[in-house]
A and B are shown apart, each in its own frame.
Chain A
Amino acid sequence: AQRVTQPEKLLSVFKGAPVELKCNYSYSGSPELFWYVQYSRQRLQLLLRHISRESIKGFTADLNKGETSFHLKKPFAQEEDSAMYYCALHSWGKLQFGAGTQVVVTP
């Protein structure tokens, strides 16, 4: 069965420090993976998708099929990065989300 695991419930980092949010998945086919973000008092929204190989707001995520991971990284965290981040796996027309990681960036 497919599964998305985000092992960290809370990640607290200092402004300017690197941040990495872990996401591991289990899926029998070729995975389509995404990161969604929910800022305080805002709607949940798409941050980035692995197929685009893009960098959004300084964040990147690389799909590692060998390690079945899709970790989200940013070299220098900013206070505005404080939010709830969800890793999600697309399967049979539906998105399956991980439990989420709350990121707190302190000055």
Chain B
Amino acid sequence: NAGVTQTPKFQVLKTGQSMTLQCAQDMNHNSMYWYRQDPGMGLRLIYYSASEGTTDKGEVPNGYNVSRLNKREFSLRLESAAPSQTSVYFCASSEGLSYNSPLHFGNGTRLTVT
């Protein structure tokens, strides 16, 4: 099993460009998450989806949109990229929202916005 798969691994955008980060999990998990990782700030939750058909804002949702396409896939879209969105983005999934459901992470997408 691949677990959580993110594409692309690397991306460079110019300010104002748009792009979608893809995430898919093959563990039949209900919940999926998008985090960004910045030095000195740890991981901050952007959006999450408790179950198929639902999405909710996390700590830092501004400038992002998400789509829970089906149970497997959860995409993150930057409509108009800004240099402040330069970061490493991690997708994660879990069986549910319970604390007994550990998060399983993808390998990350390193995004640079110039």
Contact = CB atoms under 8 A, between A and B. Distances in A.
Interface in A1-47: 4, 6, 9, 32, 34, 36, 43-46
B102 A49 contact: yes
Given A99-B40, A99-B42, A32 B90 contact: no
Prevailing SS type, chain A contact patch: strand
Interface residues of B, number: 28
30 contacts: A4-B42, A6-B42, A9-B40, A32-B99, A36-B103, A43-B3, A43-B105, A43-B108, A44-B90, A44-B103, A46-B103, A49-B99, A86-B43, A90-B99, A93-B48, A93-B50, A93-B97, A93-B98, A94-B33, A94-B45, A94-B58, A95-B33, A95-B45, A95-B103, A96-B59, A97-B35, A97-B42, A97-B44, A99-B40, A100-B42
Q: Lowest 10 A-B CB distances belong to which pairs? A: A93-B97, A32-B99, A90-B99, A97-B43, A99-B42, A46-B102, A44-B105, A97-B42, A43-B105, A100-B42
Interface of B: 3-4, 31, 33, 35, 40-45, 48, 50, 58-59, 90, 92, 97-100, 102-108
